[in-house]
Amino acid sequence: MEKTPVSFYIVRFNDCDPLGHLNNGRYIDYFLNAREDHLRDHYGIDLRDWVSKGIVFVVSQHEIRYLRPVLYNDRVAIQSALIGWDEHSLMVEMLLFDADRRQLKAVMWTRFTRIDPRTGKRVAHPEDFMEWINGTLVEGVDAEKGMSARVEVLRG
């Protein structure tokens, strides 16, 4: 199973500020859209199907580092990976690179918390879901050290 899927996107004009830079708020949309694409294309997960089965995750936290500008019409690569989990949540790292994947432009960590859609309260992952977690988890990312330490590692 692919643990670090990548997809490519063109930065659109309406996503940019008047100077032609990708608007800071739009990074979240690009990252989350990429993760949804990765779930569908690499893991066969359709979020509508999950919701119909009562499998619901909500975003409970984002942390973003903007490292280099992303400009109008740039072709970018976005990689996502499951880097951690606990009883109720998943931690996903998303990296935005130039199209050649040589220059890291932004990093986002998102915590997705599993909830019961009927109550809105968080719930534990069922045992059968642990197989997916174990099959996709990327080892060696120490989220406990924080985003700054991770950026240093990524920049090498």
CA–CA gap between residue 79 and residue 5 (Å, rounded): 6
Banded pLDDT at 1 (limits 50, 70, 90): confident
Q: Convert the pLDDT of each residue in 37-82 to its tens digit.
A: 999 999 999 999 999 999 999 999 999 999 999 999 999 999 999 9
pLDDT of residue 156: 85
* Rounded-to-integer distance, Cα 38 and Cα 7, Å: 8
Q: Per-residue pLDDT averaged across 15-24, rounded?
A: 97
- The candidate with the shortest Cα–Cα distance to 125, out of 90, 91, 80, is 90
For the record, the structure tokens of 70 come out as 């992303």
User: What token pair was written down for 109?
Assistant: 């960590």
What is the structure's pLDDT at 31? 98
